Structure 1
Amino acid sequence: MALPESSSKRRQSIPGAEEPQTTEERDERGLGSLQRKFAAQMATPQLNYKVLLGVTVCLTGLGLVMVLSSSMVTSYASGASVFSEFIKQAVVVFIGLIVMWFALRMRPQTIRKYSPWLLVIAVGMLLAVLIPGVGVGADEVGSNSWIRIGPIGVQPSEVAKMALAVWGAATVSYRARVTQRLNTGLGAFIAVSAVILILVMAQKDLGMMFSVGIVVAALMFFAGVDRKVFFALLAVVGLFGAFAITQASFRGARITTWKDALTLNFGETTTQGAAYQSHQGILSLSDGGLFGAGLGQSRAKWFYLPEAKNDFIFAIVGEELGMFGAVFVVILFGMLGWFGIRTAMAQADPFLRLLAATLTIGISVQAFFNMGYVVGLLPVTGIQLPLISAGGSSAIITLLSMGLLCNCARNEPETVSSMQHEGRPLIDRILLLPEPQGYKAGEQRRTQRRETAYSYGTPVTRPQPGGSRGSQDVRRERDRVEESIRRVGGESRLRGYDGVRRQNLPPTATPKPIPRSRQRADDAGQRRARKTRRTIDDRHRRR
């Protein structure tokens, strides 16, 4: 009696059966499947928009928590409640979120239209801060770069940085499209940028001058400036910055402090002087370890670390949340930079492309520069960590910039098509955001040409006074009126050539009657044609 074959032998005996896969082949197939799934997920419409919104919400929420934790001691020491600084920051963030909502609702055409007015406001604020008695901050931060409006301080250079990005993107994209010459398109932008940089330098604020310079360099780079010209301009700005550093002793001390922090070789005298803040920041980060001391358990905020809620708040993040918390913040800003550049590359509108790239670089580079000098890799410049540090105008302007960046992501061609066919996402319906409109290439030029008055001569359809170019209804009405005037014995109102021609024409001759023989011949021809047509129809019916 034959034993039944095993299942494995039966599979091998089936013709055309596949050979069993090795472990390496299965791993390669699994890795390829994961790569394909990841690529398909990254190509999903609306991904850039949702990620940028999520990153903004995460950074804003984390910033509020860290401001509360780092400011409790100083708020209580000033005689107020431990929540006073947090409440002030929460109000500022709420205002910034409202401004961000308005930025999300605006059409790209509206943003482009009002960009010159935004620049005028920014330049006016930069001039106002230089007026004695208006600009404040020299006693606190060493530069007259603030305007106090009640309890909130406004920094005009923050407004100027964002206004320069919006107006520069609108101007460069339009002029380059019209003239097809980049040097002509960048002329006005370079001139205005130079004026703004000079005004910021007059405030003795080298950190904000660096932030504005980042925006200028980013816009010129993404506009397509020749690399030689671009690096030559960077070299000139670098030399100018080095000259500005040598003109102030405290700026020269920052370079020495940076060298000590980079090598972790602090002297006993510097740790109590110029390098005190950098030294305490590195100690705060080292105390955090891998998992952190716990939220609210920082020791550096007990008057060891100056500016714990502002410039060095990243040190408090590392101390309380540990290396995992610090790396999480770095990843969030890295995602902001990556998806912001993806948004710029996905744009069809040159204005939105330049705007998205410039805003992304401006926010991301400022964030990484702040974290870089907290850990000792870069010299201290006094710029804040966007969306996390405590600040009035900085938080509002950064949220407005993120609203504009998310607006650019909403107006990607694939995102617009997805929202029009599949509907708006849930967050858009909650925020009552309108459906974005698709971009049409050349729409701006066509609109301007329609609004511009061009003269090509007198239109042929325009009625001429007193001439025969009027319509038939007009001529009939005029003839009827003239006939009525003649009947009552009045004077004719016909003037000019047309009237003379009509009066001097001979009466129309009476048409001659058709001969009867010709009429009979026509009738006979018609009868023959009808008879022939009936004969042909009868033949077709028989068939």
Structure 2
Amino acid sequence: MTAPAPDRKHPQAKKKQAPNERRSAASSLNAVAGFISRVLSKPQTDYLVILTVTVLLVGLGLTMVLSSSMVTSRSSGGTVFTEFSRQSLIVLVGLVSMWFTMRIRPQTIRRLSRLLVIVAFALLVAVLIPGIGVGAEEVGSNSWIRIGSVGIQPSEVAKLALAVWGSASIAKRLHQSKDMRVVLGPTLGLGAMMLLAVLLQKDLGMMMSVGIVLLALAFFAGVNARLFYAMLAAVGVIGLAATIEQAYRSARFTTWIETLLLNFKDGSTQGAAYQSHQGILSLSDGGLTGLGLGQSRAKWFYLPEATNDFIFAVVGEELGFLGAMAVVVLFALLGWFGIRTALAHTDPFMRTLAATLTLGVVVQAFFNMGYVVGLWPMTGVQLPLISAGGSSAVITLMSLGLLANCARHEPAAVSSMQHEGRPLVDRLLFLPEPQIVIAGTERRVERRNTTHRYGDPVTRQRGTAGRTSQDVRKDRDRLAESKRRNGTETMERGYDGRRRSALPQARKPRSNYGRSLHSDHFHRPDSRRH
């Protein structure tokens, strides 16, 4: 006889295996969740993740700049590495600046904030002077100052300066008053002047970036929802007015609707919607895994600004949907751990600075990726650390250096480094050991070192001759008057005189070197022989 089939002999075998498989899957998920929880609970996680994400974005950015600029670099008379070499040098300067900002103590950052904002505002004013500000012929806005071959964009410096000075100003005034008008007044005033200066440069993209920093400062300062929405509406109205003023900007709304609905009108793809249409084509050509690194077709003079504003389209074309999502995940991780760093601090300056710097970088990144895929109107905002740029790359790396500095000075991270030692990256970069930042320390030191003069307290008893109080003097006078009336004052003086006369006379000490150490005739012991 042949043996029966296993399934017929044990009809419930598969049903018994299903619960076991579910339990094993659940245990695996629990193990993964436990591992992630343990990693996130480590004191130095925020700091190490921020550094790791920054390094990955810098490496990916240089790679994509090399890939997207080969054709334009070669056509301009150089080699395929011309633009890449220039961007590598700028990134190197940015990394050195990031290293310096990671070494600075938080107290020093607060002290330098005023100088930084003065320099930034002076640059914003200088770029408006005819002959100094350049760039209108290239990008349509006078937003650059060129010194030889080096270009500086003052609005990028202003964005960082506003974040640092605004955080210091808000933290200082939070200890003085709970009125938001007092706390936010100077910050809003300076931010409005910076927005006006950037608006006069006709740089709508950078005005939006500065506006993001200003809104972040107001939000994390604890402003109420009504005032925050009013500020948001004011920035939106200013941006809308600036857009309608120029004809080429007002056409961006029509282009945005066509890109969002993927319904381009006849002729618009060769006009105002040309760049957006080419960006959508690049993303669609990439598919899931992309055409391969360096295989983009859009960079062959089809996609304008392939190395700057629309470099995310080249990323999607060469690396596909997976590569584009990797960029999104990296910026999302930067935002999450940046906010975690802000929440880990108790000092208001560190909290506001970390949160503002995080939003300033992450919101700009998502805005750039959003208008490439058609979610909102296009503006001239670069993708941080990915797009080719000068001032943008250096200022972004400095901002991330300050954010990493905030992460190093988390209370738990400071305690961990002081007891367990600094991590390997700190030892390689020769970074000093962080010190704990106590909330309100600067305010207490300022009050302690300030001399205050007050009047005498009402309970103070004034004394005679500077020492004796009035009550003691009155008691002494009453006792003296009582002795005089009773005749005991003479007896006490006579008794004291008799008692002192009965005491033996004290012998005066004599010096071995003559009659006196201060006499005019100074004699040595050997002078007695004569």
Shift of 1:30: 4.5
Residue in 1 aligned with 2:499?
511
C-alpha change, 1:506 and 1:428, in structure 2 (3 Å) is: farther
Which letter does structure 2 place at the counterpart of 1:350?
P
Q: How does 1:51-450 map to 2 (within 5 A)?
A: 51-450=49-448
For residues 311 and 506 of structure 1, the distance between their equivalents in structure 2, rounded to whole angstroms, comes to 108
**Deviation by residue 1:431-479 (Cα, 9 ceiling, x = unmatched):** 0000000122332122102221123579xxxxxxxx898xxxxxxxxxx
Shift of 1:507: 12
**Deviation by residue 1:307-364 (Cα, 9 ceiling, x = unmatched):** 1110001111111111111111111001001111111111111101000000101100
C-alpha change, 1:33 and 1:253, in structure 2 (3 Å) is: same
Shift of 1:380: 0.6
Structure 2, unpaired ranges of 5+: 1-18, 457-464, 468-492, 503-530
Partners of 2:94 and 2:398 within 8 A in 1:
yes
Which letter does structure 2 place at the counterpart of 1:338?
W
For residues 393 and 428 of structure 2, the distance between their equivalents in structure 1, rounded to whole angstroms, comes to 23
For residues 189 and 376 of structure 1, the distance between their equivalents in structure 2, rounded to whole angstroms, comes to 33
C-alpha change, 1:98 and 1:506, in structure 2 (3 Å) is: farther
For residues 148 and 422 of structure 2, the distance between their equivalents in structure 1, rounded to whole angstroms, comes to 40
Say which is worse superposed, 442-451 or 252-261, in terms of deviation: 442-451
| SS at 2:497 equivalent | coil
Cα RMSD, aligned residues only: 2.1
Partners of 2:156 and 2:391 within 8 A in 1:
yes
Shift of 1:240: 2.3
| SS at 1:179 equivalent | coil
Partners of 2:348 and 2:439 within 8 A in 1:
no
For residues 107 and 313 of structure 2, the distance between their equivalents in structure 1, rounded to whole angstroms, comes to 42
| SS at 1:509 equivalent | helix
For residues 158 and 512 of structure 1, the distance between their equivalents in structure 2, rounded to whole angstroms, comes to 89
Partners of 2:113 and 2:165 within 8 A in 1:
yes
Count of residue pairs the alignment pairs up? 452
For residues 87 and 23 of structure 2, the distance between their equivalents in structure 1, rounded to whole angstroms, comes to 56
Displaced runs of 4+ in structure 1, greater than 4 A?
21-30, 505-508
Shift of 1:237: 2.0
C-alpha change, 1:511 and 1:108, in structure 2 (3 Å) is: same
For residues 426 and 500 of structure 2, the distance between their equivalents in structure 1, rounded to whole angstroms, comes to 81
**Deviation by residue 1:160-202 (Cα, 9 ceiling, x = unmatched):** 0110011001101110122232221101111101100000000
Shift of 1:245: 1.6
C-alpha change, 1:67 and 1:509, in structure 2 (3 Å) is: same
Partners of 2:68 and 2:294 within 8 A in 1:
yes
Shift of 1:290: 1.4
C-alpha change, 1:507 and 1:114, in structure 2 (3 Å) is: farther
Partners of 2:172 and 2:443 within 8 A in 1:
no
Shift of 1:33: 4.0
Residue in 2 aligned with 1:5?
none
Say which is worse superposed, 149-158 or 223-232, in terms of deviation: 149-158
For residues 324 and 244 of structure 2, the distance between their equivalents in structure 1, rounded to whole angstroms, comes to 34
C-alpha change, 1:511 and 1:80, in structure 2 (3 Å) is: same
Shift of 1:147: 0.9
**Deviation by residue 1:200-230 (Cα, 9 ceiling, x = unmatched):** 0000111111111111111111111000111
C-alpha change, 1:208 and 1:512, in structure 2 (3 Å) is: closer
For residues 81 and 509 of structure 1, the distance between their equivalents in structure 2, rounded to whole angstroms, comes to 113
Which letter does structure 2 place at the counterpart of 1:304?
Y
- TM-score (ref. length: structure 1): 0.80
For residues 433 and 512 of structure 1, the distance between their equivalents in structure 2, rounded to whole angstroms, comes to 75
Say which is worse superposed, 205-214 or 290-299, in terms of deviation: 290-299
For residues 324 and 284 of structure 2, the distance between their equivalents in structure 1, rounded to whole angstroms, comes to 12
Structure 1, unpaired ranges of 5+: 1-20, 459-466, 470-504, 515-543
Which letter does structure 2 place at the counterpart of 1:328?
A
Residue in 1 aligned with 2:15?
none
For residues 328 and 468 of structure 1, the distance between their equivalents in structure 2, rounded to whole angstroms, comes to 79
